[in-house]
Every structure is written in structure tokens, then in C-alpha cells.
Structure 1
């Protein structure tokens, strides 16, 4: 599992790398806002970052056919663009997903690593992200956020306590005990690292701990990128969770269930 995501860390001096690593590590381990997790039954949430057209066309349809909804984190500055990996959804797809009951979350406007931004620049970027989403989805508020590339920083994480309801990381694990609202643990759902068997093991762990397991992915394709999953793996994940009688909820719905503000 890597916390880098779509880009490798650019060349930098050893001192700068060490400062960044220390900043992220402390931010990851230092909670500013917590809430106890006490559940009637374990929860599974499935989320998609960026998000490619395939996550909209294939992923959402697959979820809906099984009666569940997902959380889609939109980088508004990339909507409608094409990268070396995929084409990002256009604005009308964001509106359509929202109307179909999926959660639309914040994923920055410029997709910069937040630790590279000053608090003022980070605040401005998130404001642009929120403003763009609210132009598409008037009346929405209290959104959750997902860190681009998974990386945080101490000052940026502290700011998020005022700017987002909660924030999802890419730090793997099951959320139990006290939930760090500004660093929700999430495990990659990707074919290059997971199988139906390994997914089943994670679901069993979540059930035995009566916890909240969050998955994240990007594209959904028969031959996905190294950041995405196949329809078969996504379907198997949902079906295995349903066999275990897990609640399958969006990030926002799970927060409601936990009793987060």
C-alpha cells in the first residue's frame, strides 16, 4: 500500500523529504477531533477518488444493482479532463450521481498535495472546490473530504476541523474505538493488491471488531489501472459484505450512524 497515489514524490533534498515525512507522520498520528465508534453492526463504505468516467458508468451502476450507494470525491479543477490514466467525469455526471443518491465529497480543486500548500493556499483551494460543487449541487453542505494522494500536514489537518465534516485518508485499517474525524482510515480496493479472499479476510476483521471498514478506489474496468478495481472485485466485495449482514453506507451515512457532528 502506498500513500502516494497517482504521482511519485518529486525529487527533493534529503532534508526536505525528512521534513515532509515528519510532518505527515505527526499529522497522521495526532488527532484533533475524535468521536467514539459504537455500532449496532459493522459498516462498509466504498469510495472513489478523482473520479474517472468508469467509476461513474460501471462502478455506480454495479453498486445500484446491489441496492447500495458510494462516496465519490471530486477534484473540481479536473472535471472533464483526460490524463494518461483515464478521463475524469464531466460536471453533469457529478449532478447525476448526486441525484441517484451517491455522496459527492471534496477532493480539492487543484489536486495538490496538501502538505505543499500554506494554510491560506489550502483554505483557498478547498473554498474553490466547495464553491464549484455548490454551483453544480445548490444547497449541499457539510461535505466530507479526501486527501489528494493521501498525504496530510499538521497545520492543514488542523484547518480541516473547521472546513470539512470529516476527512478520509489512504491509511489502511479498520476504524474502531475512537475515530479520528480528520484522518479516517481507508484501504485500497485495487486488483493489483487485493483478491476476493483478502477482501473476505478484511470483512471478517471488521465484523469481529464491529468496526467501520472503508475502501477506496479510482477507475472500474476489466483491466483497471494500478489504482483501480475490476467490476468482478467490486461486486465480490459488496456481495461478501451483504452475506455478512454488514451495513453498506456512504461516508456521510456512516458518520451519521456513528453519531459524528
Structure 2
């Protein structure tokens, strides 16, 4: 005699799912996209592109910055203070002098969490505290440094974290692969991985064409910039292709801080 399956209880079963470590950050990240924490209508006069570098690898601070300079551009480097001057599994990280040189060259320094923690292993309050620690560290390099923009480590957000970050940062960048256009959420900016294992020139062309069609803002992110990049980085050739392709379409290249002003999203606090 077969036994009937127990009835599904929405509250009980969802609570149980929420407690599973592997599901909690994924559910939170999905929910983050359903709540527009910092709505803004884009009012830019021409399409935009931004190039951002996470963590930051020494090769990004050198080869990446050099390629941007060759195209008359600057980028946004989201620094995680605890990684500065260290070695990771895939690359050597930028040291203090590298970060200072980026600042002097006109690049934007953005904020990661100091210990590269994400919503998968820390509460929103812990992450917010980490951003304060990171800011203090970065200002030991340049006391007057403005740090207005954040990037979610591993691209993981949550509704509660977005709300908390909105009290401190002008924007927070995710890893949602879309062109920003029309009405956007400043605390969940979309961005594409500029990584050799995930991106091709043909896909870059489609992304930039979409930015032109929508008068939108395409943001790219990567980690290292090397002839043999890590799984999370790009080759100089791929970065150069994206820069050249944007120029050919008349797309203006700007770091995150400048692009926010160009879309009319002036900071009010």
C-alpha cells in the first residue's frame, strides 16, 4: 500500500530552503533583482561604455591601465584592501604603489569588501562594516580619495544589502549581463564579463550594438589582463578589441563615476 506524499507547506518548505547554505545566496541574489532600491532614468546624450577591474590584479593595474591610456580612457578599479600586495591562486595582486599610480593617472578607485566577503558568507551589516574598513585602508594611500562606487564580490547581492549600501555608495555594480538603459537601479548596475573563456569579439559587437540601439550604458568587468589570462581575466587583445569597437561606434568611454553623471544620476548625499 503506497502512502500519499505529504502536503506542500509554502511557509515551512521555503523556510527550510532558505536555511540551505547553497540556496540562500542564490535566492537572495534573485530577489535583489526584483526590488529597485535606487531607481534612476538614464538621460545620457550618447551611448556609454565603462571598463572595470575587480580585486585588483597587478596586470590589470599595468597592462589594463596602459591599454586604456592608449585609447584616451580611464577605468574603475574595485580594490579589496586585504588583497593588496598579495598573491592569489591565479595572479599577483597590485601593491600600494600600483594603486597610488592608478589614482595619479586619473582612474577611479572603487570599493569591494576589505576581505572580499560576499552575501554568501556574511550578513549585510558585516559587509557594510567591511566597506568602511576598506575605505579607511584606501585613504591611507590617498587621504582625500573619493570612494563613491561599490562592486559586489562574486556579483552577489540581496535586497537588504542593496538598501544598506544605498546609504553610502552612489552605485553598486553586479554581474548581471545586460546593457543598462532606460530605468535602472543604481544599486544593481548590470555588467558583462570581459573574460577570454566567456567572451568573443562577436559577442562584444552585439553588446555594443545594443548599447547604440538603446542609447545605453555597457559595463565590462574583468580581473587580470595577461597574454595567458586566468579563467577570470582577459588577454590584452580582447580588451583592445572592445576599446576599438566602442570607438568605432562613437560610444563614449568613461569610468563609473563619470558615467553616472553623464546619465544624469547626480549624487544627492
Name the TM-score, length of structure 1 as normaliser: 0.92
Q: Is the 8 A contact 2:25 2:119 kept in 1?
A: no
1:201 counterpart residue number: 206
2:182 aligned to 177, 181, 185, which one? 177
Q: Structure 1 residue 105 and structure 2 residue 107: aligned?
A: no
Q: Which residue of 2 aligns with 1:6?
A: none
How far residue 56 of structure 1 moved from its aligned partner, in angstroms, is: 1.0
Note the 1:140-159 alignment, pairs <5 A: 140-159=145-164
Cα deviation code 1:238-261 (max 9, x no counterpart) = 011001111100000000111212
Partner in structure 1 of residue 165 of structure 2:
160
Q: Quote the Cα distance in structure 2 between the aligned partners of 1:66 and 1:115.
A: 37
Please give the alpha-carbon distance, in whole angstroms, between the structure 1 residues aligned to 2:182 and 2:20.
36
Q: Which runs of 4+ in 1 moved over 3 A?
A: none
Does the aligned pair in 1 maintain the 2:25–2:156 contact within 8 Å? no
**Could you tell me whether the CA contact under 8 Å between 1:146 and 1:168 is conserved in 2?**
yes
2:101 counterpart residue number: 96
Contact 2:18 2:24 (C-alpha < 8 Å) held by counterparts: no
- Does 2:112 match 1:116? no
Aligned residue pairs total 250
Aligned to 2:91: 86
Residue 56 of structure 2 contacts residue 223 of structure 2 at CA under 8 Å; is this kept in 1? yes
Between stretches 148-157 and 248-257, larger displacement belongs to 148-157
The one of 220, 223, 231 equivalent to 1:226 is 231
Which ranges in structure 2 are unaligned for 5 or more consecutive residues? 1-16
Instruction: State the structure with more CA Rg.
Output: 2
Q: Distance in 1 between matches of 2:23 and 2:107?
A: 39
Residues 228 and 29 of structure 1, relative CA distance in 2, 3 Å threshold = same
Pairwise CA RMSD: 1.5
Q: Which residue of 2 aligns with 1:38?
A: 43
Deviation at 1:211, TM superposition (A): 0.2
Q: Distance in 1 between matches of 2:149 and 2:25?
A: 24
SS in 2 for 1:95: helix
Which is worse superposed, 190-199 or 180-189?
190-199
Could you state the TM-score of these two structures normalised by the residue count of structure 2? 0.89
1:190 to 191, 195, 218: 195
* Separation (CA, whole Å) in 1 of partners of 2:200 and 2:123: 39
Q: Per-residue deviation at 1:141? A: 2.6
Residue number among 6, 17, 23 corresponding to 1:18 in the alignment? 23
- Tell me the distance in 1 between the aligned counterparts of 2:119 and 2:141: 24
Rate the CA distance shift 1:48–1:142 in 2: closer, same or farther, 3 A: closer
The CA distance in 2 between the partners of 1:239 and 1:35, in whole Å, is 29
Q: How much does 1:30 deviate?
A: 1.1
